[in-house]
Amino acid sequence: MSEIAGVHLNLWKMQLDQVPDSLWKETEAETLVLAENGLTEVSGQIGQLKKLRMLDLGHNRLSKVPDEVGDLDGLSDFFYLHDNLLTSLPLSFGRLKKLRYLNISQNRLAELPEAVCSLEGLIELRATDNLLREIPDSIAQLSKLRELHLRNNQLSSLPDSIGALRELRQIDLRGNPLTCLPASIATLPRLEKLDLRWVNPHPALTWVDSLEERGCVVYR
């Protein structure tokens, strides 16, 4: 018997009031795009799409994500949730251990959800344009992270545990009211870019020179 090919569902900008129930029966789907539909909710039936590798729920009006999203344990490539009205994420979100790219930018998150810090497979995290005031120490669990994008939040600093992210290449902190940053950033062996533009006044960082001396580009 020949292998059934994966299904790729693209419902981008279809002016949907709600997702049709028939879609949740597409259990062979590997990618699902529901971006730019003005959706205010997504059914918990989404948890039935066990073969999803990519899910795009960006540019909608979602105020919450159903708990059943945590059942999508095959989600590995991309998960877009940017440009919604989210103030939190369910604890079940932390079960997406294979996920490599997450975009939760342009929401109303006042804190980085602990569930995000459980996503040990993450390579890139985008959480720009939120209301984040602090980053939890548990971010140290993201041991594979290469890019951390935190532009335009309310961060005054980062936790010292950021130094545990030994694969980190880029940190974008533009537009945050920074007053200090931990010296542990200078110990990140693979850091290539630290972006501190639009931060005024700049915090006094005595260790920045050592970063630049070893080739890291620091924008300030």
Indicate the domain borders of the chain. Answer: 7-219
Overall average pLDDT of the 184-194 stretch:
97
Identity of residue 26: E
Q: What pLDDT is stored for residue 5 in this prediction? A: 54
**Pick from 69, 102, 104, 66: nearest CA to 84:** 104
- What is the fold of 7-219? 3.80.10
Identity of residue 90: P
Q: What pLDDT is stored for residue 1 in this prediction? A: 28
The whole-chain average pLDDT of the chain stands at 94
Q: In the predicted model, is pLDDT for residue 75 greater than 60?
A: yes
* pTM for the model: 0.94
Q: What pLDDT is stored for residue 143 in this prediction? A: 97
What are the structure tokens assigned to 27, written together? Answer: 């259990």
The DSSP symbol for 29 reads E
Our measurement of the distance from residue 57's CA atom to the centroid of its chain's CA atoms, rounded to an integer in Å, reads 13
Distance CA 129, CA 92 (A): 24
